Structure 1
Amino acid sequence: MANISTLDAGASPLHYYGFELRRYREAAGLTQRELGQITNYTGSLIGQIETARKVPTLEFSQRMDAALGTGGALTRLVELVLRSQLPAWFQQVAELQARATEIYSFEMGMVPGLLQTEAYARAVLGAIDQTNLDDRTAVRLARQGIFEKERPPTFWVVLSEAALHQQIGGREVMAEQLAYLLTLEGNPQINVQVLPFSGGAHAGMTGSFDVYRFASDPAIVYTEGYGSAHPTANPEAVRDCSLRYDHLQAAALSIQKSAELIRGVMEDRYGEQVA
């Protein structure tokens, strides 16, 4: 456990953030409790973040910057902090997602992390391991910040119909997750297509994968194992997965028909009526 008097600012981005937050707070002549009253957080939470025992969120950072007049310093720093909290094997993937101009994702069994609601992400992450679940969920959701950039990537998702039926987190969680997917129907940056059961055998039978494309760098294919990431820029692998993705998109329902299917699943399985 870090101690406020001995916190090493160079130990990690999280420690550096805590060090800077304390420095800005003390420069403003505020106690943790007083700063909490201004920003609507508890003094205890501020203390935990200052001592690197708790991971800050983007909203927390924005409120601290506003209250302490930092010029946005903590908001700029929090992206690095959150990325550093990802599993080591996934940090490179998060960086690829942040740099990509186009992301093509095929998912077999669940909604991809970039489109997960908080409750759904929490259920996925907590299926086996409940430790630090609040922080791990916040870190996963923070990755969705790539869609708020000045030039966000175009995101294409082909989602197996199985992902709509796999009840993750219970009925309410699934209904909320599917409802969120429907809100994306008119978003030109995020396009969701469903690969229906009726399509039979398809080009993605061997598993989920992503293709990342960049403004000037070679495309990268990403696949994932248990606790391991497998990105590759091998031209043959990129060509193969790009062709597979073309076939998957051709076999999938249109964006409009996909939304209709999602509405149907919500009504049939979760009793949710959606206009």
Structure 2
Amino acid sequence: MVHMRNLDPGASPLDYYGAELRRRREATGMNQVQLGSCIFVTGSLVGQIETAKKVPTRDFSERVDAALGTDGMFSRLVGLVLRSQLPHWFQAYAEMEAKAAYISTYQAQLVYGLLQTESYARALLGVDRPDQVDELVAARLERQRILEREQPPVLWVVLDEGVLHREVGSREVMRAQLAHLLSFHDRPWVQVQVLPFSGGQHTGMLGSFTLLRSDDDPDLFYTEGYDAGHMTANPQVIRERSVGYARLQAMALSPEDSAALMSRVMEERYGHGSAVA
């Protein structure tokens, strides 16, 4: 059993979640083991979440709401908890991304976060933060929920061809990731283009960037470095990068040809019978 400690509910969304979970559980007369049994987890996990030592998942929160009759409270709260696990310098961007009606992004090295599989994200995030990989992956998957809305944002992604060839995790991880990208081909609000090696020099060679367009907020340009993000609404920057993005789209393969290239790489490089390149 986890040693109970008093939490300051105002310290963080995670502390507030833990304090409320403990209060609501005790109000029903259940102990941690009994609640855990109801939602198919250990009492130890319940205790770790109540003491803010572990971050809850959305599935855990939905089960708790059902077990405690809390009318979706924890399911609503978990989104705030998971967003708080993102790096502080990234949280402002994530907030604006969630509000965007149109997202256009060029990615030079990695699959864009909204289109990453769990295993791909886990391999990436585990490189520098292996002790927090579960929390970071959960936060990334929470970001992706905007694509499941009734009115999701329009998402246009241009990937450098090198993204397809850089093996992240394993061949199996990459095969699943490319299959996941291909699964968006029939969604009209998600378009994926590949910028081929044959395109030579281009306007995106300085690095990845994203443009956000919202119904209620100014357009935004975002780029990031190793430990910081830069976001601006400067009209001149937006104008220049919008033109640059249009050029990247024009240089990239069509969505249909991009899908064909992804399928070919998936089979030839990451297929079950392929040789390691």
**Correspondences of 1:264-275 after superposition (within 5 Å):** 264-272=264-272
Residue aligning to 2:147: 147
Deviation per CA, 1:40-97: give whole Å up to 9, x if none.
Answer: 1111111111110011111111111111111111111111111111111001011011
Q: Does 1:39 align with 2:39?
A: yes
Q: How many pairs does the alignment contain? A: 272
Structure-2 separation of matches of 1:23 and 1:85: 23
Deviation of residue 218 (structure 1)? 1.1
Residue aligning to 2:191: 191
AA in 1 matched with 2:127: A
| Change beyond 3 A, Cα 1:5–1:22 | same
Q: Over the residues paired in the alignment, what is the CA RMSD in angstroms?
A: 1.4
Residue aligning to 1:27: 27
TM-score under structure 1 length normalisation: 0.95
Residue aligning to 1:58: 58
CA contact (8 A) 1:107 1:160 kept: yes
CA contact (8 A) 2:5 2:51 kept: no
Structure-2 separation of matches of 1:128 and 1:80: 24
Structure-1 separation of matches of 2:75 and 2:115: 22
**Correspondences of 1:78-97 after superposition (within 5 Å):** 78-97=78-97
Structure-1 separation of matches of 2:103 and 2:3: 42
Residue aligning to 1:130: 130
Structure-1 separation of matches of 2:74 and 2:216: 30
Unpaired segments ≥5 residues, structure 2: none
Deviation per CA, 1:248-270: give whole Å up to 9, x if none.
Answer: 11111111111110010011111
**Correspondences of 1:1-275 after superposition (within 5 Å):** 4-272=4-272
AA in 1 matched with 2:30: L
Deviation of residue 174 (structure 1)? 0.8
Structure-1 separation of matches of 2:196 and 2:55: 39
AA in 1 matched with 2:170: G
| Change beyond 3 A, Cα 1:70–1:229 | same
Moved more, 218-227 or 17-26: 17-26
CA contact (8 A) 1:175 1:272 kept: no
Structure-1 separation of matches of 2:243 and 2:127: 33
Unpaired segments ≥5 residues, structure 1: none
Deviation of residue 122 (structure 1)? 1.0
Structure-2 separation of matches of 1:203 and 1:152: 28
TM-score under structure 2 length normalisation: 0.94
Structure-1 separation of matches of 2:234 and 2:121: 31
Deviation per CA, 1:170-216: give whole Å up to 9, x if none.
Answer: 11111111111111111122211111112222221111100000002
AA in 1 matched with 2:262: I
Stretches of 4+ aligned residues off by more than 4 angstroms: none
Give the SS at the match of 2:187.
Answer: coil
Give identity over the alignment, percent.
56
